[in-house]
Amino acid sequence: EAWLTTSRPWQFEPDTEASRTKRLPLDLAHYILGRRFEVLAKEEGSPITDGYAVRENLVNLIDWGHVVVTPLEGRWEDAVRVLEQEVRRAIEYGFTSSELNDIKNKATVGYGAAVATADTRESSDLSWDFIDSINERAVFSTPEVDLDFIEKALDSTTPEIVHQAFKNYWQTEDVALFLTTSDEQAQTTADE
């Protein structure tokens, strides 16, 4: 895999509607970028099989963002180019209304499905959700509350807001590229 990463100290914010609303545009940008990789992976001759982007909180200490693509065997150099070009394109040009609307629709459907299946959740799943909320210092909320929040927050989210969030996070000098390959690929590259 090819990983473009950035990290900084984690800045704790209490879990409120305002803080969730503030984080949402970057999450949406990452989902859109993942969708772009999904489309690119299906193109004939594509050097990647998939890709995604995410921002994670590592043990409440590190704010770690990474954009990852999985190259086809022997195509890692081309995959790195795709990774770099797509991140650069998102920083420079942002996202379209169509892309944002697609992700908004998927989010609304997903949260709606959680409401519809709330009464049939497995106890173990519910327990893990509760444990995750404790670990993340987040308020545990019902699917109905989550759906209400996401509908309101998405309503006021524009492509410009999503672009600015992505740009603010990824336009930094503190970016590293990591590549993981099979032993064979690494040896072939080293021999060249």
pLDDT in tens, 47-103: 999 999 999 998 889 999 999 999 999 999 999 999 999 999 999 999 999 999 999
Q: Compute and round to an integer the Cα radius of gyration of the chain.
A: 19
State the greatest distance between any 2 C-alpha atoms of the chain, in Å, as a whole number: 59
pTM of the entire predicted model: 0.90
The whole-number pLDDT of residue 189 equals 55
**Do 102 and 35 contact (CB within 8 A), yes or no?**
yes
CA–centroid distance for 135 within its chain? 20
Q: Is 163 exposed, middle or buried (0-12, 13-18, 19+ CB in 10 A)?
A: buried
